[in-house]
C-alpha cells in the first residue's frame, strides 16, 4: 500500500466523486424508493471505490459508503447516556374512535380551550413496529447510533447502524453542529420472509416476526451479520440539537429532516380535531395490510411545538402525543391439538386447534399449519404456547412457539400414516411438501371430486352429472363410490330437489351409456395422481388389459414410454390400495366394460378413425391443442413426428 503522501490528485478527486455518486444512489434507492441506476452499475462504482481505497488507504473517510461495515465484532455494547431522554408514548388501547376522541378532549382541556375554540391541529404519523434508535450527527457526520435502552441509558450500536443503507452517513444540505435524529429501525415484511427462508436453509432458528428480526439484527455483536440483514429506518423526531432552528410544527420538523436526507415515511399529515384523527386512524387501518412493513397503530402529536412545550410531560410520557392502536395481529395461546383435514384432492393439511384467543379483531380457535415440514421447521408441538397471527382477512396462522413456555413431555409432531377419513395409506412424493391420501375413489373426503372427475367429458362422459347433482347425491348418501352410480334408479333420482323426471331419466340413460367405454377412458377416470389423458392412453396401449395394468410392478410401468419413476410409483400405489381395487371390482360387476384395445370406440368413430396425423407449423385459426383435440374427436391420433405410421401431415 502506498503512503498517504503520494496519492495522485486524480485518484483523490475520483474517489470523492464516486463517494458522492454512490451516496446519491443509496439515497434514491433506500430513502426515496426510486432506484437511479441498475444494480450492476452500482456494483461497478462500488468496486471501483473499494479498489481506490485499498490502493491509497488515506482516501478512506469515515463517511465513505465502503465503511458501512467496518471494525471487528465487539464483546458487548458500550453504554450511551442519552443527552435528551428517549421518551415513550402513552398508548390508547381502545381501538375504536373513542381512543381518538378522548385524546382530543384531554388536549383541549389541558390547553384550556372552550367548546367554541377552533379545532386543535395534529400531526398524524404511523406507529412503526420496530425499535427506537437515536442517531447523533456532529457537523453533519454520523458519529453514534444508540438503542433506546431504558430511555436514559442505551447501547452503542454505531457499527451496526452504519450498515443500514437508509441511514445517511452524512447529512445533506447545511447541517448543524449537532443534531440527534430519532426514529424507528424496522424490517420490511418481504425481507423478513426472505431472511427466514435463508435461516431455514442454513438450519438456523426462525424469527417470529419482523420486529424481533430487526431487534435481533441490530443487537448483533458482529456488524457484518447486521449488514446482511436488510434493515430500514424512518425518522420521527429529534433529541439533542445545537445550532439548528427547530421548526414551529412537528410536520415541518419532519419535512426539515427529509430535507437533510433522512428517510421520513410518506403517510404523514396535519389534521384538525377529533374528526381528523379518527379519519386518519380508519384510513390507515384500511391500508395497513398493503404497507411493506408492520405498524401496530398510528401516532397523534399536537402539531405546534410551542403547544407541546406548554403541555409538557407526565413522568416519561409527553402529554401532547398518543399512540392509537389497531387490534393486535399476533397473540399467544395454547395449541390444544393438531388435527388433519383431507381436501378434495386428497391433500392432508394439519390444522391447529387452539385455546380461543382474540386476535386481529376476532376470536380465533383454528389456524392452518400448512404442512408437516413447516411444523418441524418451527418445532411446533401439541401443548406449546404458540404465537397466532391473523392479518387482515387472511387465514390465521401459527408463526412460532414460545420455547420458554413449553411444558414437559411434549413430543415432535408426525402426520398420521393412514388417512384420518378413510384409513387408506398416506404417501408423500419426494420433494413435495404435501402428503396425500391414496384412497382416491374410496375416500369420502375425495368422493365428490373423484365422482366429478369420473363423470367428466374426457373420462366416462356422463352428461348431466355436474357439480350440483354430485353434491346432492353425495350429501344425501345416495352415492358413496362411482360404482353406486350404476345402481341409481329413477325414483331415487327424481326424488332429489329440482330434478324433474325427464332430466332424471336423461341422466340415467347417460349413466347407462357410460357402461360402454374404452380402457383408456376408464384408466383416466380412475383419477390416479399424475395420470392424465395421454398417460392413460399409453398405459392402455402398452398393457392392453386392466388386469395386466393392475398387476404391473413399478419396473413394468417404467417400460411405458413417457412414464417416469414418479408416475410409476403413483400408479403402483394406487393399485396397491385394497380400497381402490374394491371399487374397480364393483364397477366391473355393475357392467362397466370396454372393447379390447385397438377395437372400435363408439365415441371415437369418425372420419379420421384409425388415422395418425402429424401437425407442423402454425395453423391460421386454431391452436395446436385445439387442432389435436378435433383430430382425436374425429377418431384420429396425433403424433409429433412423421414416420411409417403417419397417414396425414397437416402443414
Ligand atoms: S415519537 C415523544 N413517533 O413508539 C415520543 N414514536 O412508546 C417519542 N414509535 O419506542 C416517540 N412510531 O420507537 C414516535 N411515529 C412515531 C413512532 C414512535 C413508533 C415507537 C417509538 C417508541 C414507542 C413510544
Q: pLDDT tens, 353-366? A: 999 988 877 889 99
Do residues 211 and 329 lie in contact, with contact meaning Cβ atoms separated by under 8 Å? no
How far is residue 80's CA from residue 70's CA, in Å, rounded to a whole number?
A: 20
Cell triple for 288: 395497513
pLDDT at position 88 over 70? yes
- Structure confidence at residue 572 (pLDDT): 95
Kindly give the residue spans of alpha helices, DSSP state H, lying in 56-129.
Answer: 98-110
User: Any catalytic annotation for residue 127?
Assistant: yes
**Ligand 1, atom 11, residue with closest C-alpha:** 88
Most confidently modeled of 20-29, 66-75, 529-538? 529-538
**φ, ψ dihedrals at 359, nearest 5°:** -145, 140
pLDDT, tens digit, for every residue of 46-72? 889 989 998 998 888 878 888 876 556
Residue 599's pLDDT band, with cuts at 50, 70 and 90, is very low
The closest-lying atom of ligand 1 relative to the alpha carbon of residue 88 is 7
Question: How many C-alpha atoms does 103 have within 13 Å on its Cβ side?
Answer: 37
pLDDT, tens digit, for every residue of 212-225? 889 889 888 888 88
Using the mean position of ligand 1's atoms as its centre, give its distance from the Cα of residue 531 in Å.
58
Q: For residue 490, list its beta bridge partners.
A: none
Residue to mutate, 82, 87, 128, 313, ligand 1, most ligand atoms under 8 Å from C-beta: 128
Do residues 425 and 417 lie in contact, with contact meaning Cβ atoms separated by under 8 Å? yes
Using the mean position of ligand 1's atoms as its centre, give its distance from the Cα of residue 135 in Å.
15
Kindly give the residue spans of alpha helices, DSSP state H, lying in 59-166.
Answer: 98-110, 158-161
**Ligand 1, atom 10, residue with closest C-alpha:** 132
Cell triple for 453: 372427475
Radius of gyration of the chain (CA): 35
pLDDT, tens digit, for every residue of 104-133? 999 999 999 999 999 999 999 999 999 999
Cell triple for 590: 355393475
How far is residue 595's CA from residue 581's CA, in Å, rounded to a whole number?
A: 21
Quick check: pTM over 0.75?
A: no
Do residues 67 and 159 lie in contact, with contact meaning Cβ atoms separated by under 8 Å? no
Residue to mutate, 93, 127, 146, ligand 1, most ligand atoms under 8 Å from C-beta: 127
State the average pLDDT over residues 372-394: 88
- Structure confidence at residue 600 (pLDDT): 42
Closest CA to 299 of 154, 182, 161, 219: 182
Do residues 310 and 111 lie in contact, with contact meaning Cβ atoms separated by under 8 Å? yes
How far is residue 165's CA from residue 227's CA, in Å, rounded to a whole number?
A: 9
> Exposure of 397 by Cβ count < 10 A (0-12 exposed, 13-18 middle, 19+ buried)?
middle
Cell triple for 55: 490502493
How far is residue 375's CA from residue 322's CA, in Å, rounded to a whole number?
A: 39
Using the mean position of ligand 1's atoms as its centre, give its distance from the Cα of residue 76 in Å.
26
pLDDT at position 587 over 70? yes
> Residues with Cβ within 6 A of ligand 1?
87-89, 125-128, 132, 148, 184, 236-237, 299, 318, 321
Q: For residue 297, list its beta bridge partners.
A: 127, 325
State the average pLDDT over residues 154-180: 94
State the average pLDDT over residues 343-360: 90
- Structure confidence at residue 2 (pLDDT): 44
pLDDT, tens digit, for every residue of 604-626? 457 777 677 888 877 777 777 77
Amino acid at each position: 500500500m502506498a503512503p498517504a503522501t503520494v496519492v495522485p490528485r486524480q485518484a483523490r478527486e475520483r474517489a470523492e466523486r464516486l463517494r458522492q455518486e454512490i451516496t446519491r444512489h443509496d439515497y434514491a434507492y433506500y430513502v426515496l424508493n426510486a432506484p437511479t441506476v441498475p444494480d450492476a452499475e452500482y456494483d461497478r462504482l462500488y468496486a471501483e471505490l473499494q479498489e481506490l481505497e485499498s490502493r491509497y488507504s488515506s482516501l478512506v473517510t469515515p463517511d465513505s459508503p465502503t465503511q458501512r461495515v467496518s471494525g471487528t465484532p465487539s464483546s458487548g455494547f458500550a453504554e450511551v447516556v442519552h443527552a435528551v431522554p428517549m421518551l415513550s408514548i402513552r398508548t390508547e388501547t381502545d381501538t375504536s374512535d373513542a381512543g381518538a376522541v378522548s385524546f382530543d378532549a384531554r388536549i383541549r382541556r389541558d390547553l384550556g380551550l372552550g367548546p367554541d375554540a377552533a379545532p386543535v391541529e395534529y400531526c398524524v404519523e404511523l406507529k412503526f413496529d420496530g425499535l427506537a434508535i437515536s442517531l447523533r450527527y456532529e457537523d453533519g457526520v454520523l458519529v453514534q447510533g444508540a438503542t433506546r435502552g431504558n430511555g436514559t441509558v442505551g447501547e452503542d450500536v454505531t457499527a451496526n447502524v452504519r450498515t443500514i443503507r437508509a441511514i445517511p452517513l452524512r447529512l445533506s444540505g447545511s447541517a448543524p453542529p449537532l443534531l440527534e435524529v430519532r426514529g424507528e429501525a424496522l424490517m420490511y415484511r418481504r425481507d423478513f420472509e426472505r431472511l427466514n427462508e435463508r435461516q431455514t436453509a442454513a438450519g438456523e432458528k426462525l424469527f417470529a416476526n419482523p420486529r424481533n428480526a430487526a431487534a435481533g439484527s441490530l443487537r448483533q455483536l458482529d456488524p457484518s451479520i447486521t449488514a446482511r440483514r436488510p434493515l430500514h429506518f424512518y425518522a420521527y423526531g429529534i433529541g439533542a440539537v445545537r445550532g439548528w432552528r427547530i421548526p414551529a410544527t412537528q410536520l415541518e420538523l419532519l419535512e426539515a429532516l427529509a430535507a437533510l436526507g433522512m428517510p421520513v415515511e410518506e403517510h404523514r399529515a396535519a389534521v384538525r380535531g377529533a374528526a381528523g384523527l379518527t379519519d386518519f386512524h380508519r384510513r390507515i387501518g384500511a391500508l395497513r395490510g398493503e404497507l411493506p412493513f408492520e405498524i401496530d397503530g398510528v401516532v397523534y402529536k399536537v402539531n405546534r411545538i410551542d403547544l407541546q412545550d406548554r403541555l409538557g410531560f407526565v413522568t416519561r410520557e409527553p402529554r401532547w402525543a398518543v399512540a392509537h392502536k389497531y387490534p393486535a395481529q399476533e397473540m399467544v395461546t395454547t395449541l390444544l391439538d393438531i388435527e388433519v383435514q383431507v381436501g378434495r384432492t386428497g391433500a392432508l393439511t394439519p390444522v391447529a386447534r387452539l385455546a380461543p384467543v382474540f386476535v386481529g379483531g376476532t376470536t380465533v380457535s383454528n389456524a392452518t399449519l400448512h404442512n408437516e415440514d413447516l411444523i418441524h421447521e418451527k418445532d411446533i408441538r401439541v401443548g406449546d404456547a404458540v404465537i397466532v397471527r391473523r392479518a387482515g382477512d387472511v387465514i390465521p396462522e401459527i408463526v412460532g412457539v414460545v420455547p420458554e413456555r413449553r411444558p414437559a413431555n411434549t413430543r415432535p409432531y408426525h402426520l398420521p400414516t393412514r388417512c384420518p377419513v378413510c384409513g387408506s395409506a398416506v404417501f408423500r412424493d419426494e420433494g413435495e411438501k404435501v402428503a396425500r391420501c391414496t384412497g382416491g375413489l374410496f375416500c369420502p373426503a375425495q368422493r365428490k371430486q373423484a365422482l366429478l372427475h369420473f363423470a367428466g367429458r374426457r373420462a366416462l362422459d356422463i352428461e348431466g352429472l355436474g357439480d350440483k347433482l354430485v353434491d346432492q347425491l353425495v350429501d344425501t348418501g345416495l352415492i358413496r363410490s362411482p360404482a353406486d352410480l350404476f345402481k341409481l334408479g329413477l325414483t331415487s333420482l327424481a326424488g332429489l330437489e329440482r330434478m324433474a323426471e325427464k332430466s332424471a331419466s336423461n341422466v340415467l340413460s347417460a349413466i347407462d351409456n357410460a357402461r360402454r367405454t374404452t380402457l383408456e377412458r376408464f384408466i383416466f377416470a380412475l383419477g390416479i395422481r399424475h395420470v392424465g389423458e395421454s398417460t392413460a392412453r399409453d398405459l392402455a396401449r402398452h398393457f392392453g388389459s386392466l388386469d395386466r395394468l393392475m398387476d404391473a410392478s413399478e419396473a413394468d410401468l417404467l417400460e411405458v414410454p413417457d412414464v417416469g419413476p414418479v408416475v410409476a410409483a403413483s400408479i403402483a400405489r394406487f393399485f396397491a390400495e385394497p380400497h381402490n381395487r374394491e371399487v374397480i371390482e364393483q364397477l366391473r360387476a355393475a357392467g362397466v366394460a370396454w372393447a379390447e384395445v385397438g377395437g372400435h370406440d363408439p365415441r371415437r368413430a369418425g372420419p379420421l378413425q384409425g388415422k395418425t396425423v402429424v401437425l407442423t407449423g402454425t395453423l391460421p385459426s386454431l391452436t395446436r391443442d385445439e387442432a389435436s383435440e378435433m383430430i382425436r374427436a374425429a377418431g384420429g391420433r396425433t403424433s409429433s413426428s412423421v414416420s411409417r405410421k403417419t397417414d396425414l401431415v397437416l402443414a
